[in-house]
Structure 1
Amino acid sequence: MDFIVKGTLKAVKALYNIDLPENNINLQETRKEFDGEITVVTFPLTRVSKKSPEQTGIEIGEYLQQNVPEISGYNVIKGFLNLSLTSAYLLDLFKKEIFQPDFAVLPANGKRIMIEYSSPNTNKPLHLGHVRNNLLGYSVAKILAASGYEVIKANLVNDRGIHICKSMLAWQKFGNGETPESTGLKGDKLVGNYYVKFDQEYKKEIETLKEAGQTEDEAKKNAPLIKEAQTMLQQWEAGDEAVTSLWKTMNTWVYNGFDVTYKSLGVEFDQFYYESNTYLLGKDIIEEGLEKGVFFKKEDNSVWIDLTADGLDEKLVLRGDGTSVYITQDLGTAQLKYDNYQMNESIYVVGNEQDYHFKVLFLILNKLGKTWAQGLYHLSYGMVDLPSGKMKSREGTVVDADDLIQEMIDTACQRTEELGKVEDFSEEEKKELYRMIGLGALKYFLLKVEPKKRLLFDPNESIDFQGNTGPFIQYTHARICSVLSRADVPVPSFDGIHDLSPVQRELILTISRYTEVILTAAKEYSPALIANYVYELAKVYNKFYHEEPILKEEDLELRHLRLALSAVTASVIQRSMDLLGIDVPQRM
Structure 2
Amino acid sequence: MDFIIEATLKAVKHLYNTDITIADINLQETRKEFEGQVTVVTFPFTRFSKKSPEQTGKEIGEFLQSDLKEVSGFNVIKGFLNLSITDHYWINQLYNEILPDSFAVAKPNGKSVMVEYSSPNTNKPLHLGHVRNNLLGFSVAEILDAAGYKVIKTNLVNDRGIHICKSMLAWQKFGAGETPESTGMKGDHLVGKYYVIFDKEYKKQIEELKAGGQTEDDAKKNAPVIKEAQQMLQQWEAGNEQVISLWKTMNNWVYTGFADTYKKLGVAFDKFYYESDTYLLGKDIVDEGLEKGVFFKKDDGSVWIDLTAEGLDEKLVLRSDGTSVYITQDMGTAQLKYNDFHMDKSIYVVGNEQDYHFKVLFTILNKLGKEGAAGLYHLSYGMVDLPSGKMKSREGTVVDADDLIEQMENTAKEQTEAMGKVADFSEDEKQELYHTIGMGALKYFLLKVDPKKRLLFNPEESVDFQGHTGPFIQYTHARIRSVLSRAQITGTGMTVTELAPEERDLIVSLTQFPGIIQTAADGYSPAIIANYVYELAKIYNKFYHEKSILQAEDESAKQFRLQLSAASGKVINKAMKLLGIKVPERM
Change (3 A) 1:560 1:402: same
Q: Which residue of 1 aligns with 2:541?
A: 542
The amino acid across from 2:24 in the alignment is N
Determine whether 1:254 maps to 2:254: yes
Letter in 2 for 1:245: S
Counterpart in 1 of 2:221?
221
Question: Which whole-Å CA distance do the structure 2 matches of 1:407 and 1:462 have between them?
Answer: 11
Q: Report the alpha carbon displacement of residue 490 of structure 1 after superposing the two structures with TM.
A: 4.6
In structure 1, distance between residues paired with 2:251 and 2:467: 43
Q: CA deviation at 1:464?
A: 3.1
Report the residue type matching 1:544 in the other structure.
Answer: F
Partner residue, 1:313: 313
CA separation in 1, counterparts of 2:148 and 2:304?
A: 40
Structure 1's unaligned 5+ residue stretches are none
Deviates more, 1:180-189 or 1:551-560: 551-560
Please give the per-residue CA displacement for 1:149-179, whole angstroms capped at 9, x wherever unaligned.
Answer: 1111000000000000000010000000111
1:462 CA displacement? 2.4
How far is the alpha carbon of 1:61 from its aligned partner?
1.0
Q: 1:476 is paired with a residue of what secondary structure?
A: helix
TM-score by length of 1: 0.99
> In 1, distance between residues paired with 2:492 and 2:368?
61
Question: How far apart are the structure 2 equivalents of 1:356 and 1:350?
Answer: 12
| Aligned partners of 2:95 and 2:493 also within 8 Å | no
Matched, 1:129 2:129: yes
Name the stretch that deviates more: 134-143 or 390-399: 390-399
Structure 2 residue ranges without an equivalent (≥5): none
Given residue 26 of structure 2, which amino acid in structure 1 is its aligned partner?
N
- The residue that corresponds to 2:555 in the other structure is 556
Cα drift, residue 460 of structure 1? 2.4
Partners of 2:13 and 2:389 lie apart in 1 by: 60
Q: Which residue of 2 aligns with 1:571?
A: 570
Q: Secondary structure at 1:443's aligned position in 2? A: helix
Give the % identical residues: 73
Distance 2:154 2:493 in 1: 46
Separation in 1, partners of 2:149, 2:62: 43
Matched, 1:355 2:332: no
Contact 2:441 2:465 in 1 (8 A): no
CA shift digits 1:507-554 (9 cap, x unpaired): 111000111111111111110011011011101100110111011114
CA distance in structure 2 between the partners assigned to 1:245 and 1:92 by the alignment: 66
1:493–1:557 CA contact under 8 A, matched in 2? no
Deviation at 1:386, TM superposition (A): 2.1
1:196, distance to aligned residue in structure 2 (A): 0.5
Contact 1:494 1:558 in 2 (8 A): no
Aligned to 2:265: 265
Deviation (angstroms), 1:492: 4.1
> What does residue 387 of structure 1 align with?
387
2:94–2:507 contact (8 Å) kept in structure 1: yes
Match of 2:463? 463
**What per-residue deviation string (whole Å, max 9, x for no partner) do you get for residues 379-410 of structure 1?**
00000112232211111111100000000101
Distance (Å, rounded) in 2 between the aligned partners of 1:557 and 1:447: 39
Q: 1:408, 1:459 within 8 Å by CA — same for their partners in 2?
A: no
Structure 1 runs (4+) greater than 4 angstroms displaced: none
Per the alignment, residue 18 of structure 1 pairs with: 18
1:495-506 equivalences in 2 (<5 Å): 495=495, 497-506=496-505
Give the structure 1 partner of residue 64 of structure 2: 64
Give matches, 1:170-569, under 5 Å: 170-495=170-495, 497-569=496-568
Whole-angstrom distance in 2 between the partners of 1:449 and 1:555? 43
Tell me by how many angstroms 1:38 deviates: 0.4
AA paired with 1:92?
A: N
Are 1:34 and 2:34 an aligned pair? Answer: yes
2:4 counterpart residue number: 4
Counterpart of 1:371 in 2: which secondary structure? coil
Displacement after TM superposition at 1:296 (Å): 1.1
Distance in 2, matches of 1:344 and 1:15, equals 43
The answer (yes or no) to whether the contact 1:493–1:560 under 8 Å persists in 2 is no
Contact 2:123 2:191 in 1 (8 A): yes
Secondary structure of the 2:355 match is helix
Contact 1:493–1:561 (Cα < 8 Å) also in 2: no
**Aligned AA (1:123):** N
> 2 CA distance for matches of 1:85 and 1:34?
13
AA at the equivalent of 1:210: K
| Number of aligned positions between the proteins | 587
Structure 2 CA distance for aligned equivalents of residues 9 and 147 of structure 1: 27
Moved more, 126-135 or 362-371: 362-371
Give the Å deviation of 1:42.
Answer: 1.2
Asked if 1:105 corresponds to 2:76, the answer is: no
Report if the CA contact (8 A) 2:448-2:527 is conserved. yes
Question: Aligned partners of 1:195 and 1:148: how far apart in 2?
Answer: 43
* 1:317–1:324 CA contact under 8 A, matched in 2: yes
Give the whole-Å Cα distance in 2 for the aligned partners of 1:60 and 1:267.
50
SS of equivalent residue, structure 2 residue 379: strand
Shift of 1:88: 1.2
Q: CA RMSD in A?
A: 1.0
Shift of 1:20: 1.3
Whole-angstrom CA distance in 2 between matches of 1:396 and 1:456 = 19
TM-score relative to the length of structure 2: 0.99
